[in-house]
Amino acid sequence: MSREHSYGYRALFSEPGIFMYALAAAFGKLQAGMFALGILYAVADQRTYSTGALVVAVSALGGLSTPLRGRLLDRYAYGVVLWTILVIHTVLVGALMVNEHVQGPFWITVASALLGNLAAPPIGVVTRVMWRSVTTETSRPAALAFDSVLADAGFILGPTMAALACVTLAPWAGLTAAVFFTAVATLLLPKNIGDDKSPAQQGERHWAGPLASSRLVLLLGAALCFATAVSVLEIALATPDESKDSQLLGGLLLSVLSIGSIVGGLLIGAMTPALAERATRLPVLLVVLAVFSTALTVGNGAGWLVAVPLCLLTGLSFGPSFVAVYGRSGDLAPPGTAAETQAWVGTALQLGSAAGAGAGGVLLDVWGRAGALALAPVAAVMGAVSAYAGDRVRTTVSAPHEEKVRSAQ
């Protein structure tokens, strides 16, 4: 098959330098999965696991600064921003580990964890921008699908590697490995990514950045609802009930969800660009998620023979939905706001996960597992409505913006 007629992973891995870029993305995904668990083990060694969990919770607030870091990337050279942030991040993480080693004041540990995450290099944001700059229209769907698969794999392997390093080497080894993977990912990223910051590329900056686009705001709302549905499913399925095998079954169901997500992402990457575009329509995907999560809500008490296939079918929509969110947000990003746009998408997904975990916990206490699971299809439908509304306002919003870009060029 010639390159002109290739598509999917064949087209992706024929792009120059793609293996190095894929390695950078993989290391970035591992770091994201290792950081929180690394903090937990580093703090729990000298204090308690509940104290470590508190530090992890506080450090997670640092993720809310990701859009600011994205704006810095859009305004200045990627290399300068990333390496500067990495140095600050490394110093702060080192301060946490040293303070724990000498059993210093607890407030220094908390401040170091929070500030360290505030200054964490946004590798995930950069790699999502990177895929759009190092691929063609033919290979881009496979790149976005591959990134989604890497995220799922990082979520599984990252914590496992952090725990293994902490248990076999030292309590601080997980955090050290997370910083190491961040540095390696930064080193492997393309050197010229984001170099074009000309007026024609950046357009007229609005003070609100990409949030000035109503289409993008509606997409962010859909992303938040999607993450809420996913988080509720994970929390509800992982919570054991009165049966003695429920804990084992919960772990199995979560694994099946992850497998479904990986398989769904891989399938999108193997499709032709035209078919991948049709298969990643976010409103349709979220309706599919609502249908299968409803079936899971109704059939969750029928035993693993029913629950496992339903979890697999539900998880199949996860990977394509992530591809749709990241791909569509890249298409809608106003000129000069590519990194900040992807940062806002990541923040919306984080907020949705937090909302789903919180609401799911409350519903579990009030109405049990079935009541918590019922929130998932509701959130998915709300996300589908938001995504559909964003698609419908396209013609009324995009025309003036396109005129500005043409006049600037």
CA quadruple 22, 66, 224, 402: dihedral sign = negative
| Per-residue model confidence (pLDDT) at position 265 | 94
Comparing 385 with 151, the larger pLDDT belongs to: 385
* CB distance 18 to 134 below 8 Å: yes
Q: What is the pLDDT of residues 173-215, one digit of tens each?
A: 999 999 999 999 999 998 877 655 555 454 566 777 899 899 9
Integer CA distances (angstroms), 313 to 3, 56, 285, 318, 367, in order: 34, 32, 12, 10, 25
Q: Which residue has the tokens 């360290």?
A: 116
Integer CA distances (angstroms), 62 to 55, 66, 74, 175, 188, in order: 12, 8, 20, 16, 25
Count the Cβ atoms, other than its own, within 10 Å of residue 378.
16
| Per-residue model confidence (pLDDT) at position 63 | 85
Section 238-244 average pLDDT: 64
Q: Which residues contact 197 (CB under 8 A, 6 or more apart)?
A: 74, 75, 336
CA pair distance 298, 193, nearest whole angstrom: 48
* CB distance 222 to 289 below 8 Å: no
CA pair distance 203, 154, nearest whole angstrom: 35
Torsion angle defined by CA atoms of residues 160, 165, 166 and 170, in that order, rounded to the nearest 10 degrees? 180
Integer CA distances (angstroms), 247 to 48, 240, 244, in order: 24, 5, 7
> Which alpha helices (DSSP H) does 15-139 contain, by range?
18-44, 49-60, 66-75, 78-101, 106-118, 123-134
* CB distance 186 to 303 below 8 Å: no
CA pair distance 48, 72, nearest whole angstrom: 37
Give the per-residue SS3 of 314-374: HHCCHHHHHHHHHHHHHHHCCCCCHHHHHHHHHHHHHHHHHHHHHHHHHHHHHHHHHHHHC
Give the per-residue SS3 of 146-161: HHHHHHHHHHHHHHHH
Q: What is the pLDDT of residues 35-50, one digit of tens each?
A: 988 999 999 988 888 8
- pTM of the model as a whole: 0.87
Residue 203: phi and psi, rounded to 5, are: 65, -165
| CA-derived radius of gyration, the chain | 21
Q: For the ranges 60-74, 172-186, 300-314, 378-392, which has the lowest average pLDDT?
A: 300-314
CA pair distance 260, 313, nearest whole angstrom: 7
Res. 94 pLDDT band, cuts 50 70 90: very high
Q: What is the pLDDT of residues 121-179, one digit of tens each?
A: 999 999 999 998 888 888 999 999 999 999 889 888 888 899 899 989 999 999 999 99
Amino acid at 243: S
CA pair distance 212, 42, nearest whole angstrom: 41
| Per-residue model confidence (pLDDT) at position 299 | 79
Res. 2 pLDDT band, cuts 50 70 90: very low
Please give the DSSP secondary-structure letter assigned to residue 239.
Answer: S
Q: Which residues contact 158 (CB under 8 A, 6 or more apart)?
A: 29, 30, 31, 32, 33, 34, 37
